[in-house]
Structure 1
Amino acid sequence: MDTAIPTQLPSIFVSHGSPMLAITRTPARDFLAQLGTTLPRPSAVLMVSAHWETDRPMVNAVARNETIHDFGGFPRALFEIQYPAPGDATLAAHIADLLGAAGFPTGIDHARGLDHGAWVPMMLAFPDADVPVLQLSVQSHRGPAYAYAIGRALAPLRAEGVLIIGSGSFTHDLRRFRGQAVDAPETADVTAFSAWMDQHIAAHDVDALIHYRTHAPHAADEHPTEEHLLPLFTALGAAGDAPTAQRLHNSTEHAILRMDAYGFG
């Protein structure tokens, strides 16, 4: 891996799917397992995970991250995984300052570790747990425009060697999960929604994307609630005014979960 930090790191969106991604060999897992080798080593990673929802932005500041097993009914092997990556209190304060200056008063949580939306991608991409990791919460009730604006405020971090990763799911209608095989073919509505999103991401049509719920086919079906798509908007916003967008990965799990990933900038 090239250890030099470039002038600008990209911002990235990844789909983390089920916690089983940590121990199940799938195309998405294979993608994440090689992701770290394709990037310069960052000074730190800021994870924006769908699984930490708060009324206002919160960033964690701990000496070492606890591994939060925020799920139930899965094999014991998942609960035995630990990802004790260091935190960075100084960077947490800097992030809070950046967001506060942009009009987003931000709190600092001195206890919370990493939920599975953060540690599953991180353990695959950076398995040595030696890169400082911070987590930023999402505000689902605020919607995409707010999440995009949060990303814009965080954009200066990319020039400081911080890798910003939004971790969610490109589609996330778990109401339709009926035990489908992990490699079951995706449904037509998932295909239509994902094609629309990809088209407008490639075109950097931010306005259409922010209003995806009105324009994209089957939007409310693929995201009955928005927390798993909002990290995409933060990653997009962090890339600046006219970023290049590259689809880094696309696959489907259990017929309904698109596992797409994008790099911006």
Structure 2
Amino acid sequence: MPNTSHFPPLFISHGSPMTALEPREAGAFMQDLGRTLDAKFGRPRAILAISAHSLARQPVLLAGAKHHAVYDFGGFDPKLNTLRYDAPGATELAAQVQALAAQAGLPLLSLPQGGLDHGIWTPLRYMYPAADVPVLPLAFVPSQSPAQQFTLGEMLAPLAEQGVLIMGSGSITHNLRLVFGQGQPPAIDAPEIQASAEFRAWLQARAAAADWPALLDYRRQAPHAVAMHPTDEHLLPWFVPAGAGGRNSPAVRIHESLTFGSLAMDAYAFGPAALQLAQALQDPGAATL
């Protein structure tokens, strides 16, 4: 019988590809997140994944019957290229998403091909290591605004009530020049720079207040927004699960950590069930109540 739990849509910062080998605080959180979701909401019938590394000229579903890990990076530990994540596809969900898009008048293509970029398979290796949950990647349009991504999420909202985990993957801060632009990168546990701290604090406060007008206009209103996101493709996936969560619910930060002094690994939950998830993560015993 399919799971009909109301899953809170999520945004997860996936970090460097090395997160798959060096989990640190964020990897430990992802493991805990998978266990907590199972205990509190059950196993999702499918995962609809929106990653900063799957981009297209118009929204596209990768609706292949099977997936494999795509090694969309270079210059890292060769061991990364030996990691696998052979998850099943979600062809039935693809048809459902296309029907929702048609009702909303949003253009949406579906291609019978598989493949999970590292923004998807890295967190899922920790959350669901058996690779037994069907996955449907949704490539988004990086030139579209936060408001357009939010509208895309609103179209997907019914799925969250039908056992589908809507997961955005990107980075709360993402200026790689601060990490690699000076030759030798900072220490992975370097203290946080002020611009990163101020941007993260603003985002968390506006999210907790459900101040969607400010959040959708973050590039003008948030402190150091352009410095933290010279291009914003790594934050745009935040707005898709936000839209799926709805305008009437605050967003809840469910994890915060940092690497290299400015690459934040924060995660958020959205919608009416977000607070339940946050409480269950803080109190593991609550997940079984």
Q: TM-score range by the shorter chain?
A: over 0.9
Of the three residues 134, 159, 173, the one matched with 1:171 is: 173
Shift of 1:216: 0.4
**Helix, strand or coil for the counterpart of 2:54?**
strand
Please state if 1:183 is matched with 2:189. Answer: yes
Residue 180 of structure 1 deviates from its aligned partner by: 1.4
- Out of 10, 27, 30, the residue aligned to residue 29 of structure 1 is 27
Q: Which amino acid aligns with 1:9?
A: F
AA matched with 1:99: A
Task: Spell out, residue by residue over 1:211-260, the C-alpha distance to the aligned partner (whole angstroms, 9 max, x if none).
Answer: 00010011011011111001110011001231243211001101111110
Distance in 1 separating the partners of 2:19 and 2:139: 22
* Residue-pair matches, total: 263
Deviation sequence 1:138-163 (CA, Å, 0-9, x none): 21101100100000000000111000
CA distance in 2: counterparts of 1:244 and 1:143, whole angstroms = 20
Unaligned runs of 5+ in 2: 272-289
Supply the distance in 2 between the matched residues of 1:4 and 1:65 (Cα, whole angstroms).
Answer: 21
Q: Secondary structure at the match of 1:63?
A: coil
- How far residue 18 of structure 1 moved from its aligned partner, in angstroms, is 0.4
The unaligned stretches of length 5 or more in structure 1 are none
Letter in structure 2 aligned against 1:226: D
Partner of 2:264: 258
In terms of fraction of residues, the more strand-rich structure is: 1
CA distance in 2, matches of 1:129, 1:237: 27
Aligned to 1:51: 53
Residue 18 of structure 1 corresponds to which residue in structure 2? Answer: 16
Task: Give the aligned partner of residue 63 of structure 2.
Answer: 61
Match for residue 103 of structure 1? 105
Residue identity matched to 2:34? G
Asked whether 1:207 is paired with 2:213, we answer yes
Partner of 1:86: 88
Is 1:228 aligned with 2:230? Answer: no
Map Cα deviations across residues 20-71 of structure 1 (whole Å, 9 max, x no partner): 0001031111101111111121000111000011111001111110210000
Show the counterpart of 1:242.
248
CA distance in 2, matches of 1:11, 1:162: 9
Contact 2:89 / 2:114 at 8 angstroms: preserved in 1?
A: no
2:125 match: secondary structure: helix
User: Percent identity over the alignment?
Assistant: 45
CA distance in 2, matches of 1:232, 1:133: 18
Corresponding letter in the other structure for 1:16: H
Kindly indicate whether the alpha-carbon contact (under 8 Å) linking 2:66 and 2:114 is maintained by their aligned counterparts in 1.
no
Which runs of structure 1 show a deviation greater than 2 angstroms over 4 or more consecutive aligned residues? 3-7
TM-score in terms of structure 2 length: 0.88
Instruction: State the alpha-carbon separation in 1 of the partners of residues 169 and 103 from structure 2.
Output: 25
8 Å CA contact 2:67, 2:88 repeated in 1 = yes
8 Å Cα contact 1:4-1:41 kept in structure 2:
no
- Cα RMSD after superposing both structures: 1.4
Match of 1:151 in 2: 153
How far has the Cα of 1:6 moved from its partner? Answer: 5.4
* Alpha-carbon distance change, 124 to 7 in structure 1, aligned in 2, over 3 angstroms: closer
Task: Tell me whether 1:130 sits opposite 2:136 in the alignment.
Answer: no
Please say if residues 48 and 136 of structure 1, whose CA atoms lie closer than 8 Å, have aligned partners that are also in contact: yes
Letter in 1 for 2:196: V
CA pair 89-25 structure 1, distance change in 2 beyond 3 A: closer
CA shift, 1:4, in A, is 8.9
C-alpha distance after superposition, 1:179-216 (max 9, x if no partner): 11211111000001111101100000111000000100
